[in-house]
Structure 1
Amino acid sequence: MIVDTHLHVIDRSVLDYPWLSGVEPLNRDWPYASYERDARRAGISATLHMEVDVEPSMIEAETRNVATLADRPDSLIVGAISSCRPEKDDFAEFLERQRANPLVRGFRRVLHVMPDELSENALFRENMARLSGSGLTFDLCVLPRQLDKAIALADLAPDVTFILDHCGVPDIMGEERQPWMERIGELARRPNVHAKISGVVAYADPETWIAETLRPWVEHTIEAFGWDRVVWGSDWPVCTLGGGLLAWVAATHALLDGASADERKKLLSENARRIWNL
């Protein structure tokens, strides 16, 4: 069974998503019920909800909305990765409120659509260091050219567990292997960083990709981080841009052909259960 570490639920009747207007294929509601149907068919037994970059004043409202979904009988949702704003003065108070909420397992601040210097801001770095000792993770969503920023954050807080989203967002369609390959290897030298095998179907040609298209990128990430530091994510509904959840799960199993049973279990479920104490 699979633990999905990257589900997005979009409900525009409850929350505002400023970025959606610029991504027309995703600019609609994506309810949990639609995900759940295919997730159960694919063998997904638990999922973490990943923040969807809502309007900043609604960050905690998003977590409350996820809680209503997690409270449903037999819900697959077992935790939430909350959005956050480490560049803001009120982050310390925000962090304390989230630490008191057992649903929250970690944080993400989307960086790949922000100026590169955001994560170099002194207050941002001071607040990132506050995660030390909290047991909460931090997802890194960066472009290949920003991987050096991820390295700097990992070095800043060596006892914080960082999760690199989407294999570092490689340009698979453009076959841009450098500087991605080199920097993935450098980031993987930090033992506090794990990699999420997710998102890659959205970076390949949606009409022509097959499992072998994805293999070099997925295998390089796994080889760099090792089987003990990789987790799996659907990135639903973004994965619908590249064929959908069932296609991505099928491709994952094809890519894992040849891996041992223990290696498959680590990637698909055991590492996630350990990292987030699920």
Structure 2
Amino acid sequence: MIVDAHHHLWTADYPWLQDPALEAIRRDYTVADLRDSLRAAAVDRTVLIEAGRCDAAETTAFLRIAQETPEIAGVVGWADLTDSDLAATIERHRAGTGGHLLAGIRDQVQASADDHLDRPDVRTGLRAVASAGLVNELVVRTSQLPSVARAAAALPGSTFVLDHLGKPPIAAGGFEEWRKQITAVAARPNVVAKLSGLVTEADWAVWTPQDLRPYVETAAELFGADRLMFGSDWPVCEVAATYTQVKEALSELLGGLPPDVFGGTAIHTYHLELM
């Protein structure tokens, strides 16, 4: 059972897609498109992640889509971590169609200050997510990794999922600083990391698997297979690579398809019930 722990769906009108550099992926991506990619890459199940629209209606729609799509085993929805009514927001999602498939909450922390996760109101939100039995999913920049380590230490009862290995600046050659910061994050046993989004941190036009090797090998060393998950980051990845190319690159770098990385860790972390 191969599980992709990180993909999106969206429509062409998402505001962030209006960046001219993203013209190649500025279109509707549907469940039919997803199924075509899954068949081509021989992937069985997925986790659908909020796609940067930053409204509750997207989460409602994604849960409904997941309910109707057997391939989607879980949803990480968007919510504002500073929402004082976050616990009630989560319960409303759970009470709706597909609500049992809600596996985690992700806010767009990457757009905030480096110490955003240190704010008292944000910490309250992280606690609300954890109290609901959901994963705290984090999309952050490398400069925000110290705050991830601090949040994970402060909330040992929460499971944190680090997307895209903290977005290392691969194209810019920022390996040493990233390794220093990711080491402190990996030292927290309640953090799980995704091998996802790396091709888009590399040079889109000329990347090779070898460009990703130091980052993948460091992640494997620091987290171990039982705290790593494969994620395609489709369709974002299509600015640089196809879904299949992403999976094949990681398989090459990992020496195959380690069952934890390509399924077991996601199933355990998100409490996926697979049929």
Q: What TM-score, normalized by structure 1, do the two folds share?
A: 0.90
Deviates further, 84-93 or 264-273: 84-93
1:80 maps to: 75
Q: Secondary structure at the match of 2:204?
A: coil
Q: Secondary structure at the match of 2:92?
A: helix
1:230 maps to: 228
2:58 maps to: 62
1:51-75 deviation digits (Å, cap 9, x = unpaired): 012143xx2x2233223432336x3
2:2 is the alignment partner of 1:5: no
AA of the residue aligned to 1:6: H
Contact kept? 1:99, 1:134, Cα under 8 Å? no
Q: Secondary structure at the match of 2:133?
A: coil
AA of the residue aligned to 1:66: F
Residue pairs, 1:155-194, within 5 angstroms: 155-194=153-192
Give the 4+ runs in structure 1 shifted more than 6 A: none
AA of the residue aligned to 2:262: L
Q: Secondary structure at the match of 1:4?
A: strand
1:212 maps to: 210
For residue 88 of structure 1, report the CA deviation from its aligned partner: 2.1
Report the count of equivalent residues.
Answer: 267
For residue 115 of structure 1, report the CA deviation from its aligned partner: 2.6
AA of the residue aligned to 2:232: S
2:85 is the alignment partner of 1:90: yes
AA of the residue aligned to 1:107: I
1:16-66 deviation digits (Å, cap 9, x = unpaired): 63322224333221112112112122111000100012143xx2x223322
For residue 128 of structure 1, report the CA deviation from its aligned partner: 1.2
Give unmatched runs, 5+ long, in structure 1: none
AA of the residue aligned to 1:72: E
Distance 1:69 1:88, change over 3 A: closer
Q: What TM-score, normalized by structure 2, do the two folds share?
A: 0.91
For residue 220 of structure 1, report the CA deviation from its aligned partner: 0.4
1:170-207 deviation digits (Å, cap 9, x = unpaired): 11111111321011111101000011000001111122
Contact kept? 2:50, 2:78, Cα under 8 Å? yes
Residue pairs, 1:94-105, within 5 angstroms: 94-100=89-95, 101-105=99-103
For residue 142 of structure 1, report the CA deviation from its aligned partner: 1.0
1:40 maps to: 39
CA distance in 2, matches of 1:2, 1:77: 12
Give unmatched runs, 5+ long, in structure 2: none
Give me the CA root mean square deviation: 1.8
Contact kept? 1:145, 1:179, Cα under 8 Å? no
Contact kept? 1:18, 1:55, Cα under 8 Å? no
For residue 216 of structure 1, report the CA deviation from its aligned partner: 0.7
2:12 is the alignment partner of 1:18: no
Amino-acid identity (%): 33
Contact kept? 2:115, 2:144, Cα under 8 Å? no
For residue 149 of structure 1, report the CA deviation from its aligned partner: 1.3
Distance 1:121 1:24, change over 3 A: farther
2:133 is the alignment partner of 1:135: yes
Distance 1:256 1:182, change over 3 A: same
